[in-house]
Structure 1
Amino acid sequence: MADIKFEIQETMGILSESNKGWKKEVNLMSWNGNKPKYDIRDWAPEHDKMGKGITLTEEELKALKELLNSMDL
């Protein structure tokens, strides 16, 4: 399996933290040197391990924001 290179360019915020110290974070990330995208996933305390997540373009993030704002939560 090929190595995946990533760079967290900006941490937007933390959504939650598990009792083992893993944090679900929203970050602006560059994957394999590509244009940065918004990313939501779990991270180990030292950012040396990651869980499965979702990566969104700015347009997709705006659409998600509109959808969430329209929901009656």
Structure 2
Amino acid sequence: MADIKYEIVNHIGVLSTSPNGWTKELNVVSWNGGQEKYDIRDWSPDHTKMSKGITLNEAEIGQLRLLIIK
């Protein structure tokens, strides 16, 4: 299995912190050198491990924002 390469381009904020120190975060991430996307997932304290998450492009994050503020 190939290693996944990622770069956290912009750390937007922490949504929550679990008792084990992992944080659920909203970041802008480039995965495997690809286009930057908004990303929500849990990260280990040193950001070397992560959970499964969700990525959103500009249009999707805009639509999510509209749905939340209704």
Identity percentage over the alignment? 57
Structure 2: gaps spanning 5 or more residues: none
4+ aligned runs moved over 4 Å, structure 1: none
Residue 16 of structure 1 aligns to a residue whose secondary structure is strand
Deviation at 1:41, TM superposition (A): 0.2
Residue 25 of structure 2 aligns to a residue whose secondary structure is strand
Q: TM-score, normalised by structure 1?
A: 0.93
Whether 2:34 is the aligned partner of 1:25: answer no
Could you tell me which residue of structure 1 aligns to residue 48 of structure 2? 48
Q: Report the AA paired with residue 20 of structure 1.
A: N
Could you tell me which residue of structure 2 aligns to residue 62 of structure 1? 62
Could you tell me which residue of structure 2 aligns to residue 8 of structure 1? 8
Could you tell me which residue of structure 2 aligns to residue 35 of structure 1? 35
Structure 1: gaps spanning 5 or more residues: none
Deviation at 1:35, TM superposition (A): 1.1
1:18-57: per-residue Cα shift (whole Å, max 9, x none)? Answer: 0110000000000000110000000000001000100000
Q: TM-score, normalised by structure 2?
A: 0.97
